[in-house]
Structure 1
Amino acid sequence: MITLTISSCGNKKNSYDEIASSGRTTRTENMKNNLTTFTNKGVMIGQMYGTLEGIGWKNEKSRSDFFSICHDNPAVNGYELSGIESGKKKNSDDLPFSWIAKNAINAFKHGSMIVMNWTAPDYNGNKDVLKDYVKSLSNFISSLQDSYGIKVPIVLYIYPVDGKSWYSQLSIDKYKKLYEDTKEMLDDNKVTNVILGYSETYENNAFLERYPEDAEIINITYLQTKEHINIKEYKNTLATFLPKAISYAQEHNNTLGLTTGIESIPDSNYFSNILMPIFERHRLAYVMFGANHGDYKSGHFYTPYPGEGNDKIRGFMKLYNNEHTIFLSKLNGLYIESK
């Protein structure tokens, strides 16, 4: 084990971040190992931008729509990093990177797991441009440190396959090569606080074909927007692909996370009758709901908020009180070495 000593000019304190034999920080390595063992305890419940924005609010201290409903916070917080590579101040969801950085650090300090997606722009085959992109990404990730210089462990999904992005149109071999090249660049940039994952939006049974062997965690995204709601199809789709995806992850010594939700929650029994049986049957590392954003009239929400129907809130509370779900208050020791 190697200890990095960092001198903090602001408060005159020496601080350190331990490096494991893998080359990652010990907290990052512990998180990776614990993701497997924690699936025996239950599934961590989180949300994209869960503590950064919600219905009718943005970037308010100690606020989340989760907390407004159940007086608890997400165990997992997700963020999109698209735009960081180009030096933009805001990401593709119009949220400042300064907010994202501060929010992620604060969530880590409270024990949450941090998930970040990088939906990268086309570098048009220019390797130097790609290197510059990855350098900017690396600098941002490495800068995520608390006041003691402890880096925030990140689950990073590079090039999440969505069927629409330029890299989703690459051949399987070219996609894997791009992934491997980017991993090498992150290593060259001495990024030590990342677990590199593979993420894919579910579209049909031919999924996970692009899975790169270097990936250490898998995420499947399956969201229904309010314009395309089909609850029967949603249930059948989850029942079809989840067992296959979990089996695939286990065969590759990985864990599986699920990003999901039905926008506007048209069925008040969604959480209790559709999701809870899944959590009881399948071992998932986490379930992360889509983001809540906009005003009260927009309908852009995947979890309830105050005033959005008592039936939906009661359904969410059943999920919260289920023994198989882990919200922040029950998430203990994610970054500590398991004995």
Structure 2
Amino acid sequence: MDVLSDVLSAVRLTGAIFFDSTFREPWVAEAPRASVIAGKVMPNSQYVFFFHTLIEGACWVEMTDGSAEPLRLEAGDIVAFPMDDAHALCSAIGMRAKPDLAMYHHPIDRQLPYVVNEGSSVGSCRFVCGYLGCDIRPYNPFIKSLPRVLHGRGTARQGWLASLVHHAVSETDRGNPGGETVLAKLAELMFVQVIREYVEGLPEDARGWLSGLKDPHIGQALRLIHGQPAANWTLEGLARAVGLSRTVFANRFTHYACDPPMQYLARWRMQLAARLLENPGISVAQAGAQVGYDSEAAFNRAFKKVVGLPPGTWRKGRAPGPGLPAN
């Protein structure tokens, strides 16, 4: 079981490239908090955040609230803001410009991306920018384990990905049918590659769900849970399967996943069940059975405890609009 792929699929990671921009010095482009414009750019996603890929040139990126040090970007870098922070891309530190919120919508009369081209010159920069969206309810263990700024150094210039980025840029220039889909998939691929590099670089003592993927014992436990979510897992059974005592396993799992093992299992089951409930051909009882509950009553109790609503009510109302990462 590839746990990361399983989670990204279950929470419906979706990409979209909206802007292909070339700026000449001096320049600044300020982005608002993604939650402000999420419903306009990715209305089908519960949670949305920005990413930027620098194709040519070099520049700075800063949090607009000044809460972090400016970050230098070079050609080939990818930067994402998973925690809904407003930020600015600029040719010199400290430059600001009020975001134009009217720019953030999906056009009905043209194909994405929007192209802004001030012309190339010494010191100019070219960006491909967009959004990544996903579900965060009922449970997304992945998103809350990300840093405020996710920086992939030179990621877009590496081997196969560099070829895809080059192809995507040419798609922008040609405006071929299906180009938006090509760009959306590229956005997802770039983000996953940045995540893989981020996980590889995490120190041994790092805390969080992504760090747990690297730990031999907790990574194995996560593979078991995600590989067989409906199995009759117990704390003792999982601990035994990964070769740890009950107490050591429970403490270690909680350290990494930020949830105790059985609570994690229950929450993940509800994420899977919520997806099943979107299918009108699957009854509440069938959805519960597919995630490990022998009776509809037991599933109803578990779903309401984790989600806050009975499964039937969830199904009728679906999830509310864009939000913030759940704790």
Structure 2 length as normaliser, TM-score?
A: 0.28
Structure of larger gyration radius:
2
Structure 1 length as normaliser, TM-score?
A: 0.28
- Would you tell me which structure has more helix in proportion to its own residues? 2
